[in-house]
C-alpha cells in the first residue's frame, strides 16, 4: 500500500499460455489458508477488470514454485472468501490513513 505521498506501483507478473502468449497480471495478494499458499491476480491489460484469478502455489519435485489451477469448488470458494476478507481489511486500513 502507498504510504503518505508515495505513489502506488502495482507488481506485475507475466504468465504464459500454452501457445506462448504472454498475459500480464497485477499481483493483489498472497496468503496462507488451511496449510496452502494462494496467490490472487488481476489481469492487467483489461480496462475496468474486476475478475480476480486465484491459484494455489505448489512446489514441484525440483523445489520450484508453480501456480496450480484450483479445481475443487469448495477450496476455490474458501480461498476467494479469505481474499475478500483480507481485501476489505486493506481498503478500511487505507481509509483510516486518510
Tell me the pTM. 0.80
Total number of domains constituting the chain: 1
pLDDT mean over 79-84 = 96
Q: Is the pLDDT of residue 60 over 70?
A: yes
Q: Is residue 6 part of a domain?
A: no
Query: Residue 36 CB: number of other CB atoms within 10 A?
Result: 15
Q: Is the pLDDT of residue 35 over 90?
A: yes
Query: Residue 52 CB: number of other CB atoms within 10 A?
Result: 17
Q: Is residue 75 part of a domain?
A: yes
Full residue range of the structural domain in which residue 42 is found: 12-97
pLDDT mean over 43-59 = 92
Q: How many CA atoms lie within 13 A of 92 on its CB side?
A: 6
All three cell numbers of 3, joined, read 504510504
Percent of the chain with pLDDT over 70: 84
Q: pLDDT category, 9, cuts 50, 70, 90?
A: confident
pLDDT of residue 1: 46
Question: Residue 88 and residue 32: Cα distance in Å, rounded?
Answer: 17
Amino acid at each position: 500500500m502507498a504510504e503518505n505521498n508515495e505513489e502506488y506501483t502495482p507488481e506485475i507478473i507475466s504468465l504464459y499460455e500454452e501457445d506462448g502468449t504472454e498475459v500480464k497480471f497485477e499481483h493483489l495478494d498472497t496468503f496462507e489458508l488451511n496449510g496452502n499458499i494462494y496467490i490472487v491476480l488481476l489481469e492487467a491489460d483489461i480496462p475496468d477488470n474486476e475478475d480476480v484469478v486465484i491459484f494455489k502455489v505448489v512446489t514441484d519435485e525440483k523445489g520450484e514454485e508453480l501456480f496450480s489451477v484450483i479445481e475443487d469448488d469448495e477450496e476455490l470458494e474458501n480461498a476467494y472468501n479469505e481474499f475478500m476478507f483480507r481485501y476489505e481489511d486493506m481498503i478500511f486500513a487505507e481509509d483510516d490513513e486518510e
